[in-house]
Structure 1
Amino acid sequence: MRMTVIGTGYLGATHAVAMAELGHEVLGVDVDQAKIDLLASGHVPFHEPGLPELLRKHVASGAVRFTTSYEEAGRFGDVHFIGVGTPQQHNGNAADMSYVDSAVEQISLAATHDCVIAGKSTVPVGSAQRLQHLARSSAREGVAVDLVWNPEFLREGHAVDDTLRPDRMVLGLEHDDTGHPTIAAREAEAVMREVYAQQLVARTPLIVTDYQTAELVKVAANSFLATKISFINALSEITEAVGGDIRTLADAIGMDDRIGRKFLNAGVGFGGGCLPKDIRALRARSAELGLDQSLRFLAEVDDINSRRREYTVQLTMNECGGSLSGSRVGVLGATFKPESDDVRDSPALDIAARLHSMGADVRLHDPQGNANAAKRYPRLEYVDSAEEAVTGAEVILLLTEWQQFRDLDPVRTAELVARRTIIDGRNVLDPEEWMGAGWRYLALGRRPM
């Protein structure tokens, strides 16, 4: 099929390349000429394992191309995916819909033949119906533009596999006053089933529903995951206070298959471009609907997450004798998770910046995130290796669980530091191994060792 992907950031670029891998002809669209030029030359402007190789393959074959022209996109595509951002508004928690609105309006104006718009961006519930009206009112006379909502469920570091082999797919269709999909919606569904034919043959579960449910799926999933993380972090405050062990507690409750072990990892909390933004946007939308009390608990989820950062800073200060002024601190990690260069709302980078603002001499290393971190906090000192970061340090903080940090040799590392104190902000190191090498080992949710 011939399709476009509007927005070539993390979501859009990955989706465009994955659709080419599935055999479709794809045109990526963006207003940023520099980004378009970079992608067209076979280079990915962010870190995502496996994506650069597929991009080069399909740029070379001609299966995927890139443009800044909506007119070209309108002539080319039978399906137009919307993958632009919905960042948190500067003056509140609600999502900024201006980029989505603009993309839908412009591709509807440019479309020269009947087409389907498939929304993938994460939007407040109620947006799709409004966007369908916007698309139809913007389309040329005689051109039918029908919208479906097709949320994405990508995990950074696993995005290619999540697109090619998703654990589920959701299609939200327009419904009439009787609560049934319209004729146009059923036709749009048939088009989308053709788009995803390979996944459907592979028995990927497909949920077909209304606009509102489809819009809620992504934010509901992220809010649940955020709640699970904050739940175990809240318990870690108790286990640490009473001398318990949060990892053993998490293992024990995670054996209950109704709960599961995933996302029960106590530490410095969650970050990134999705979870924090989505729980705040869902709270904001519920307030607009007059349902403030329904999701009030998400405010506490957010607060618990913030407290983990504050606590880690305080713990570091205590280990430096009550003052950070002039203390050298080695920070391992800047991204919000490993296998990514994304530092948006990263607890690791936020903690490092707070330590620096309180007078600490911070040296930070991240395998992929140094450049992006430096754009946000240019006054921090970024170094090229973990060894450089920890040399002369009075305290080491492991804040992003990159494998190379998990594999650090405590004996070799001890030869580089000024004092053998490590704060394991992700609970991923072996305490016995580090203490055996003479280290004072601290981790959130565990008694100091």
Structure 2
Amino acid sequence: MLNKIKNKLILTNTFVLLVILIMVTTFIYVFSSYSFSNTSDNELLNLVYQSKRFSKSDFQSIENDLSYNQELSYFKEKLNNEKCKLIFFNNEMKPIFSSSKFKISKKKLAKIATLYFADVNASHTEVKEQDGIYVFSDYEDSKISYRTCTTLITDNEGNMQLILIAEDNRSENATLNTLLYILALTVIFGVVASLLGGFYTADKALVPIKENMDNQRQFIADASHELRTPIAVIKTNLELIESNEDETIKSQEVWIDYAKSEIKRMDKMVGDLLILSKADLNEIPFNNKEHDIVHLIKEAIEKIEPIAVKREIRVYMSCPYNRVKVNIDEDKFTQLMMILLDNAIKYSEDKTQIMITVKVNLNKNSVVIKVKDQGIGMKKDEIEKVFTRFYRIDKARSRRENGSGLGLPIAKWIVENLNGTINIESIEDKGTDVIIALPLISYEETE
């Protein structure tokens, strides 16, 4: 399954990159082509404007290298350039003047010039100005490539003439071809790099997915194992009751009590499992508001006290404050305290005490809540495992006390969603301290 996800992830990322590269390279090429074409057309248009201002005698003076003014000199310089050519046609489409020799036959030149009178199509475009119409066309063969501009004028005698200026655009086409080649290589290289890098990044991206799947499988396996035991106990007790048909309900009360105890344990375990499964999906909202934790801790002690009294365990609170305000979800905080107190009672010996201390830490702007018991404690290597689901230090004691090993994982989830931290300090056979730190809003000391 993970391999399918990995391959799909690689292909999807590569496809997205390919689309982006094609879009970017297409834009670059089209923009560059348009820029070259626009620059060339503007230059040709300016040359045609200038050619209409000067007479043929001015052009012919190029051979004598005469300069009448600065503008004419610049114009001649442009036409002397091998890239630019100027030619006049009479009304019969015959060349009557050329600035320099064309590498195109007169017949082909006349054909290019006659495009002026053709309908506008993909092979040529026209620009309409106040002084006339200017037609742009392209001519290419195996040896030469020209961009041309043609317009119609009338000479001093009233005869119609056609002006054609052509510019050699082989260098621009070569630049565009080189750019296209580079862009194509960029796309190919990008796709190959994406495929190769995809294997690495996909493996990294799948690590948390794999961990979640492994945790899910382990969670299901642990839950199935934990539920199997109470089901087996209930089944055994019911079979005992069934085998003693002649006995009264009162005489078999012990088996019924065992079954009821396991049902109660299963009910609590299923409830805890539902909380954790919803927590994994972030489906349980936290309504964090400003609350006084001193009052909430006292309420939790009052609720847990009847259970502690049965085992002669005393629960004390040391708090030198009237109020300590913290941003919390009231119900979730109460659930947290009940879990910690319930655990402390379960793992404490009879006739011991549990101490809850509340202390403000101004340096860290936090309030520290410590739940200290005098129970069985735990080894160092066990401290790291207590937040693992279904982990129990003393399984026999935990089963006797209806423990499921889900309390501390829920407690950790609550603390993290209250923007706090939870740590455990413990010494085997001496007791355990559970230390919680929450962000402080305000406090009021006892007078």
Tell me whether the two structures share a fold, i.e. TM-score over 0.5: no
Higher strand residue share:
2
TM (norm. structure 2) is 0.20
Higher helix residue share:
2
Structure index of larger Rg: 2
TM (norm. structure 1) is 0.20
